[in-house]
Amino acid sequence: MTSNLKISLIQLPLFWENALKNRAYIEKHLNSLDKNSNVVLLPEMFNSGFTMNARKVSETMTGPSILWMKSWAEKLNTLLGGSLAIKEGENFYNRFVIVSSEGVIARYDKRHTFTLAEENKSYTSGNDLGLFKYQGWKICLRICYDLRFPVWSRNTTDYDLLIFVANWPVDRISAWDTLLRARAIENMCYVVGVNRTGKDFKGLNYPGHSSVYDPMGELITPENFIKEGVVEAILDYSELEGCRKQFRFLEDRDNFDLC
């Protein structure tokens, strides 16, 4: 069991539908990271931007971006995660992938595709839980629009850390901040949100606001972090455990089944 988990969140602009250029640009930040990070996270669709051109930008699970992630995870001796468009058979998925030096250790396909942008017409909705264990921590993966659906993220499995990667635009950034905090409070867990910066091909602006909340909903990273760069936080398992022992709110949660 690792009592402290160091998380590094990389928020940065993304080049439209250009995986090679995005990977090269991300490397500038990876090279500057503290080598003691346990988990390094990238935004949603880190290698392409939030494009609906799935057929053009998608890769396979043995493609260049996954191999690149594995290489950097090995170099940094860390977990490296982010979402990208993945093709399997005739389907395309917006998939959150966590990679170690050994390869893929966790994956989650976005359940709530963003109908406002017609993501549902380009990507297949997933139904996996996105749960995995790392150094004694139970971690749950989610993507962007999933944040608006608290039932899907409800902590019925006793996870310790809930992670969202996103392309969340400036016009709705107050919802991002509010919902991340709410997910931490109601689930009595650490919540991490990683958002991009810059402007995309469609003219949407992204303000960052990558952040980490503790189990009581307190922000433990800089407020309204808008510049390109790295946000870091150390998660304390003993603090999480102590909070849950003092406030046993999860013991009163409702039981339900998801269809």
Condensed to tens digits (0 to 9), the pLDDT of residues 75-133 reads 999 999 999 999 999 999 999 999 999 999 999 999 999 999 999 999 999 999 999 99
Domain that residue 176 falls in: 4-251
Answer yes or no: pTM beyond 0.85.
Answer: yes
Query: Is residue 160, in this structure, part of any structural domain at all?
Result: yes
Q: What is the mean pLDDT of the chain?
A: 97
| pLDDT above 90 (res 146) | yes
Query: Is residue 181, in this structure, part of any structural domain at all?
Result: yes
Q: What is the CATH number of the domain that holds 29?
A: 3.60.110.10
Would you please indicate which residues are annotated as catalytic (active-site) residues?
44, 110, 144
Query: Is residue 41, in this structure, part of any structural domain at all?
Result: yes
Query: Is residue 256, in this structure, part of any structural domain at all?
Result: no
Query: Is residue 259, in this structure, part of any structural domain at all?
Result: no
Q: Which two tokens stand for residue 15?
A: 């080049």
Query: Is residue 258, in this structure, part of any structural domain at all?
Result: no
Count of Cβ atoms closer than 10 Å to residue 37 Cβ: 21
Query: Is residue 257, in this structure, part of any structural domain at all?
Result: no
| Number of domains composing the chain | 1
| pLDDT above 80 (res 34) | no
Confidence grade of residue 44 (pLDDT, cut at 50, 70, 90) = very high
Q: Which string of b and e fits 163-188 if b means at least 16 CB within 10 Å?
A: bbbbbbbbeebeebbebbbbbbbbbb
Q: pLDDT tens, 183-195?
A: 999 999 999 999 9
Q: What percent of the chain has pLDDT over 90?
A: 96
Residue 227: its pLDDT value, please?
96
DSSP per-residue codes, the chain: --SEEEEEEEE----TT-HHHHHHHHHHHHHTS-TT-SEEE--TTTTT-S-S-HHHH-B-TTSHHHHHHHHHHHHHTSEEEEEEEEEETTEEEEEEEEEETTEEEEEEE-SS--GGGTGGGTSPPP----EEEETTEEEEEEEGGGGG-TTTT--SS--SEEEEE----GGGHHHHHHHHHHHHHHHTSEEEEE--EEE-TTS-EEE---EEE-TTS-B-S-TT--SSEEEEEEEEHHHHHHHHHH--GGGGPPP----
Residue 29: its pLDDT value, please?
97
Gap between the Cα atoms of 97 and 29, Å rounded: 19
